[in-house]
């Protein structure tokens, strides 16, 4: 069953919550918002683009002929993109998939230390199997897509470039094009054809866990960068377009991924069509005009409509109006989130205009057969299939895949010296230098004289994994040591090398202790790596409730040592206290494998002058309080701590006072978290469980073994759910999240889980209501007596004190299920509302 997870792997697997999440193949629609049909009225908001790669009549004719000779099965195979952990080379031979991918943290042979030769061997084997027509009758070459989002980041030894947030600060499209070219070369060296980059999200709420994948909160840089990256990856449309040193690029995630309400990953973007275009679509204008051949659909919804199933946006806007003639690939089982769809059954996506289903997990096989049956039954027209396959073949032809030698025999394949090449590392180091943003520099403490005695402290000082962030070797970027970055340098190592060469001395001490009092301390600290929804936050306060890094800064200051803070982060965070405790403060973002680029800027030459001045400017406004989560350039009432475009150069006057307010105010970290209000609230998804099976609820009436669920009208249409447990097996309803959620904001003694319930008929002896934080991490209270005491058919709200659950071991830092109701006996129970609040709502049940 685990293979049918929509969600995740490395992280969730290690937590072994297989059972808990099994069956997430059917995520429910996540938002209660309804589709705002009226908002989709003005297609003229979208420009008709003039695209640089014209259609070639002879090529189109050849595709027409090819299509005429293909069977339906061969065509559907072009639309299926499985993942390397879930197919074999023999599957490729038998089905002839149009493409395949490796997800974050997926390697050939499941080996993190796979060598470039291993990567090429897999590429070669898959390619040969795809052109082997002995089983499927098809000889169309497959292609391999990978997330090379900051360099070829799944491969040990590759150059890891700064994450996009840092590149935005550098604001240098020419540099960005060089980075893309270098990335393309490293990818080609492993025999891979296609890269899922650039991300062109315009990030409006910095609580979003993918903020660092965005270049800016403002569309301007995103648009120019999108064009530069696409050119760097694919080559110029009038130059060596998709030549030997180039890969296919993907502009992602179409559209509005950076605009979700509350900064919730995979959430709902509630804005007008005009804003959707003006703010969130500019990267597509830039990328498509540079010739991008693929676009990835986004997990998010627009005004309640999941993009994967939104025909207006995918077909009418992107293809018809903007003229995009490459293909649209889905995101990781994103089709399964369309209402009424599952990962293995979803004609809606093809009908909406999706051309290639990204279908990791074992769902690829039933999806393939279901699509065939749906075309045969007329649920999807053959014309739509032909259009999708034509687009895939067009991109393959433009990329020369029918003519190029096999992956192992291409000019760059096997040129292992390209992986982490000195020339590429030099570009990355330059990018690090250009991305640093100087926020504070009292009394011109920086640049530091390298002949001094320097203490380098903090948990991030000698930590290439931390400085590289998510999407680095593993999906989450966790679990790496410095040895996993051969050829790279930590921030400390760079400082150490240069100071030693200049005749100074460096002491490394993560906790700030020292053998001899230093002249100055450099403290490197910040966020731990994360990816996607795992990085979502409630508010922007850094180290809320556990300010260990602040304590380190203060401990050094108290000894009269000047302190330079180097802050590693994937977004601006509220660090007023840390700023106050620092004499100089640099936002270093997520610099990647070339940490020495930091030393280049903060250390002076022997004569005291700077080696390199600061260049980076904020492309994200810096928040004045933890609650200022969505402060963006151009806002009507724009009052950030530091504005968009801010960044000191050497010698420039301070802007920040040294006594910023350290009062976090009333944290808007939710005083309330809604779980169910008419529908499950994002990110919570409703799941049914019976025995060892589980299913996500995606339709109004659904049954799984011993439990069934149906919607009914309470106050308004379909705003409540009735669950019938038939007593034949242990069964449960559960509101789960694809990612563990940090609910520590509800640690207080008054925090309550409140659920509005109604029962009909008898109640068994045990009905458990609780929460879960992993397979062996759960807590619950028996509410059977309370239910039995409720008058038949009357709604009542049951309040459980979260402290009862915490006493039983609930870990609020990592909640997978925010509400589970379990019963082995027969029970008829309805639910109309569920929420958590930090203030007591009413008398809670006594702890058991």
Tokens for 745, please give them. 């904001």
Count, residues near ligand BGC per rule CB under 6 A:
15
Find the shortest distance in angstroms from Cβ 797 to ligand BGC.
34
According to DSSP, the residues that pair with 602 across neighbouring strands are: none
Give least dist CB 6 to ligand BGC, A.
Answer: 7
Our finding on whether 741 is near ligand BGC (CB under 6 A) is: no
User: In the set 105, 151, 488, 526, which binds ligand BGC (CB under 6 A)?
Assistant: 105
Question: Is there a contact between 52 and 70 (Cβ–Cβ < 8 Å)?
Answer: no
**Contact flag: residue 9 with ligand BGC (CB under 6 A):** yes
Is 520 within 8 Å of 628 (Cβ atoms)? no
In whole angstroms, how far apart are CA 577 and each of 397, 437, 654, 659?
57, 18, 17, 8
The interface with ligand BGC within residues 177-196 (CB under 6 A) comprises 196
Mark the segment that binds ligand BGC (CB under 6 A) among 7-15, 234-242, 271-279, 662-670: 7-15
Contact between 147 and ligand BGC per CB under 6 A: yes
**Residue of 540, 683, 534, 565 whose CA lies nearest to 620:** 540
Nearer to ligand BGC, 105 or 825 (CB): 105
Considering all CA atoms of the chain, what is the largest pairwise distance in Å, rounded to the nearest integer?
Answer: 86
The reply to whether 758 sits near ligand BGC by the rule CB under 6 A is no
Q: What is the dihedral of CA 286, 291, 293, 299, to 10 degrees?
A: 0
When binding is defined by CB under 6 A, the residue of 29, 96, 103, 504 that contacts ligand BGC is: 103
HSE value, Cβ hemisphere, 13 Å, CA-based, for 319:
21
Taking the complex as a whole, the smallest distance from the CB of residue 355 to ligand BGC amounts, in Å, to 16
User: Cα separation of 733 and 675, whole Å?
Assistant: 13
d(CA 587, CA 590): 9
Q: Residue 475 Cβ, how far from ligand BGC at the closest point, in Å?
A: 4
Give the shortest CB-331-to-ligand BGC separation in angstroms. 5
Please identify, among the stretches 6-14, 92-100, 135-143, 619-627, the one whose residues bind ligand BGC according to the rule CB under 6 A.
6-14
* Count of Cβ atoms closer than 10 Å to residue 778 Cβ: 21
CA-wise closest residue to 327 among 346, 290, 355? 355
Among 4, 8, 472, 780, binds ligand BGC (CB under 6 A): 8
**Residue of 15, 24, 77, 106 that binds ligand BGC (CB under 6 A):** 106
- Interacting span for ligand BGC (CB under 6 A) from 5-13, 116-124, 718-726, 795-803: 5-13
User: 177, 331, 462, 578: which one is catalytic?
Assistant: 331
Cα torsion angle, 830, 834, 840, 841, sign? negative
Asked if 254 interacts with ligand BGC (CB under 6 A), we say no
Using CA atoms, how far apart are residues 183 and 170, in angstroms rounded to an integer? 18
In the complex, the smallest distance separating the C-beta of residue 578 from ligand BGC, rounded to whole angstroms, is 31
CA dihedral for 391, 397, 400, 402, sign (positive or negative): positive
Q: Which is nearer to ligand BGC, 8 or 734 (CB)?
A: 8
Nearer to ligand BGC, 163 or 440 (CB): 163
Which residue among 23, 82, 96, 104 contacts ligand BGC (CB under 6 A)?
104
Nearer to ligand BGC among residue 5 and residue 601 (C-beta):
5
Q: 576 and 662 in contact (C-beta within 8 Å)?
A: yes
| Choices 98-106, 423-431, 661-669, 697-705 (CB under 6 A): range interacting with ligand BGC | 98-106
Those residues with Cβ within 8 angstroms of residue 337's Cβ, 6 or more apart along the chain or in another chain? 6, 27, 29, 30, 266, 299, 306, 308
Residue 746 makes CB contacts below 8 A (sequence gap 6+) with 673, 802, 812, 836, 837, 838
Question: 588 near 564, Cβ under 8 Å?
Answer: no
Is residue 578 within 8 Å of 550, Cβ to Cβ?
yes
Site for ligand BGC in 224-253 (CB under 6 A): 252
| Rounded-to-integer distance, Cα 405 and Cα 133, Å | 17
Q: Does residue 472 bind ligand BGC (CB under 6 A)?
A: no
Nearer to ligand BGC by C-beta: 74 or 300?
Answer: 300
- List all residues 6 or more positions away from 91 whose beta carbon is below 8 Å from its beta carbon: 82, 97
Residues 326-345 that bind ligand BGC (CB under 6 A): 331-332
Stretch that binds ligand BGC, among 2-10, 376-384, 564-572, 765-773 (CB under 6 A): 2-10
**Residue 402 tokens, joined:** 């029918």
* Cβ atoms of residues 602 and 587 within 8 Å: no
Helix spans in 261-325 (H): 273-275, 282-289, 311
Q: Which is nearer to ligand BGC, 332 or 644 (CB)?
A: 332
Distance of closest approach, residue 738 Cβ to ligand BGC, in angstroms:
7
Q: What is the 3-state secondary structure (H, E, C) of 375-410?
A: HHCCCCCHHHHHHHHHHHHHHHHHCCCCCCCCHHHC
In the window 526-585, what residues touch ligand BGC (CB under 6 A)? 532
**Is 532 part of the annotated catalytic residue set?**
yes
- Listed ranges 97-105, 313-321, 432-440, 451-459: which one lies at the site for ligand BGC (CB under 6 A): 97-105
Q: How far is the CB of 332 from ligand BGC (least distance, A)?
A: 4
- Closest approach of ligand BGC to the CB of residue 126, in Å: 17
The region of 104-112, 522-530, 550-558, 714-722 touching ligand BGC under the rule CB under 6 A is 104-112
Shortest spacing between CB 406 and ligand BGC, in angstroms: 24
3-state secondary structure 76-114: HHHCEECECCCCCHHHHHHHCCCEEEECCCCCHHHCCCC
Q: Would you count residue 475 as binding ligand BGC (CB under 6 A)?
A: yes
Cβ 101 to ligand BGC shortest distance, Å: 6
Return the residue nearest ligand BGC (CB atom). 103
Alpha carbons 647 and 117: distance in angstroms, whole number: 43
- Are the C-beta atoms of 784 and 743 separated by less than 8 Å? no
Q: Which of 462, 532, 541, 596 is an active site residue?
A: 532
Q: Which is nearer to ligand BGC, 296 or 550 (CB)?
A: 296
Which tokens go with 536?
Answer: 């979502």
Residue (299 or 644) nearer to ligand BGC, CB? 299
Using the rule CB under 6 A, give the single segment among 101-109, 515-523, 571-579, 645-653 that binds ligand BGC. Answer: 101-109
Least spacing, CB of residue 470 vs ligand BGC, in Å: 10
Residues classed as catalytic: 331, 532
Residues that bind ligand BGC (CB under 6 A): 7-9, 101, 103-106, 147, 196, 252, 331-332, 475, 532
């Amino acid at each position: 069953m685990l293979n049918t997870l929509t969600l995740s792997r490395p992280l969730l697997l290690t937590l072994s919550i297989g059972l808990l999440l099994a069956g997430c193949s059917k995520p429910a629609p996540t938002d209660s918002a309804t589709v705002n049909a009226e908002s989709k009225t003005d297609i003229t908001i979208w420009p008709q683009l003039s695209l640089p790669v014209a259609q070639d009549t002879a090529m189109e004719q050849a595709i027409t002929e090819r299509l005429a000779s293909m069977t339906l099965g061969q065509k559907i195979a072009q639309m299926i993109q499985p993942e390397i952990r879930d197919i074999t080379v023999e599957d490729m031979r038998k089905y002839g998939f149009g493409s395949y991918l490796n997800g974050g943290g997926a390697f050939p042979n499941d080996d993190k230390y796979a060598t470039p030769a291993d990567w090429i061997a897999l590429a070669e084997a898959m390619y040969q199997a795809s052109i082997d027509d002995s089983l499927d009758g098809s000889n169309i070459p497959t292609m391999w897509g990978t997330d090379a989002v900051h360099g070829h980041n799944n491969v040990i030894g590759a150059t890891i470039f700064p994450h996009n947030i840092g590149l935005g600060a550098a604001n240098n499209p020419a540099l960005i094009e060089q980075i893309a070219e270098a990335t393309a070369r490293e990818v080609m060296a492993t025999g891979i054809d296609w890269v899922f980059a650039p991300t062109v999200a315009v990030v409006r709420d910095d609580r979003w866990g993918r903020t660092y994948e965005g270049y800016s909160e403002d569309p301007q840089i995103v648009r120019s960068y999108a064009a530069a990256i696409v050119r760097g990856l694919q080559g110029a449309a009038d130059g060596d377009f998709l030549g030997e040193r180039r890969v296919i690029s993907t502009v992602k995630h179409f559209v509005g991924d950076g605009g979700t309400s509350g900064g919730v990953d995979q959430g709902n973007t509630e804005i007008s069509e005009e804003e959707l275009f003006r703010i969130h679509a500019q990267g597509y204008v830039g990328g498509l005009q540079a010739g991008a051949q693929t676009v990835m659909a986004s997990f998010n919804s627009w005004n309640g409509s999941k993009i994967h199933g939104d025909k207006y946006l995918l077909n009418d806007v992107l293809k018809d109006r903007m003229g995009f003639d490459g293909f649209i690939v889905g995101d990781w089982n994103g089709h399964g989130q369309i209402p009424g769809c599952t990962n293995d059954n979803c004609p809606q996506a093809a009908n909406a205009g999706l051309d290639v289903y990204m279908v990791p997990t074992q769902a690829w096989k039933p999806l393939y057969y279901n699509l065939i049956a749906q075309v045969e039954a007329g649920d999807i027209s053959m014309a739509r299939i032909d259009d999708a396959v034509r687009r895939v073949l067009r991109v393959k032809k433009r990329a020369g895949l029918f003519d190029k030698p096999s992956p192992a025999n291409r000019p760059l394949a096997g040129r292992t010296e390209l992986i982490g090449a000195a020339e590429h590392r030099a570009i990355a180091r330059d990018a690090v230098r250009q991305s640093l943003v100087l926020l504070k520099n009292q009394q011109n403490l920086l640049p530091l004289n390298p002949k001094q005695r320097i203490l380098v402290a903090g948990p991030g000082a000698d930590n290439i994994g931390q400085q590289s962030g998510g999407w680095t070797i593993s999906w989450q970027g966790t679990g790496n040591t410095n040895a996993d970055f051969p050829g790279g340098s930590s921030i400390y190592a760079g400082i150490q090398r240069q100071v030693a060469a200049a005749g100074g001395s460096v002491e490394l001490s993560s906790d700030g202790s020292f053998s001899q009092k230093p002249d100055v301390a450099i403290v490197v600290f910040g966020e731990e790596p994360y990816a996607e929804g795992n990085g979502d936050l409630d508010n922007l306060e850094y180290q809320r409730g556990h300010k260990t890094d602040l304590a380190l800064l203060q401990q050094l200051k108290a000894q009269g040592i000047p302190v330079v803070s180097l802050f590693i982060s994937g977004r601006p965070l509220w660090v007023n206290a840390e700023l106050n405790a620092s004499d100089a403060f640099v936002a270093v973002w997520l610099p990647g494998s070339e940490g020495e680029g930091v030393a280049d800027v903060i250390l002076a030459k022997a004569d005291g002058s700077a080696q390199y001045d600061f260049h980076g400017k904020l492309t994200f406004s810096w928040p004045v309080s933890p609650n200022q989560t969505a402060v963006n350039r151009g806002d009507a009432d724009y009052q950030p701590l530091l504005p968009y475009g801010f960044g000191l150069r050497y010698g420039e006057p301070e802007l920040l006072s040294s006594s910023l307010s350290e009062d976090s105010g009333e944290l808007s970290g939710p005083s309330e978290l809604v779980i169910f209000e008419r529908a499950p609230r994002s990110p919570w998804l409703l799941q049914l469980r019976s025995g060892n099976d589980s299913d996500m609820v995606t339709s109004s009436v659904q049954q799984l073994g011993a439990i069934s669920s149906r919607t009914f009208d309470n106050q308004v249409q379909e705003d409540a759910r009735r669950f019938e447990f038939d007593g034949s097996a242990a069964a449960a309803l559960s509101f789960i999240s694809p990612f563990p959620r940090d609910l520590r904001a509800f640690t207080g003694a008054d925090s309550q889980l409140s659920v509005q319930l109604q029962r009909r008929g008898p109640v068994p002896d045990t009905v458990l209501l609780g929460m879960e934080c992993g397979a062996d991490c759960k807590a619950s209270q028996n509410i059977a007596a309370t239910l039995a005491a409720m008058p038949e058919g009357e709604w009542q709200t049951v309040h459980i004190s979260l402290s009862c659950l915490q006493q039983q071991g609930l870990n609020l830092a990592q909640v997978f299920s925010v509400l589970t109701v379990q019963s082995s006996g027969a029970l008829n129970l309805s639910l109309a509302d569920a929420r958590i609040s930090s203030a007591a709502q009413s008398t809670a049940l006594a702890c058991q």
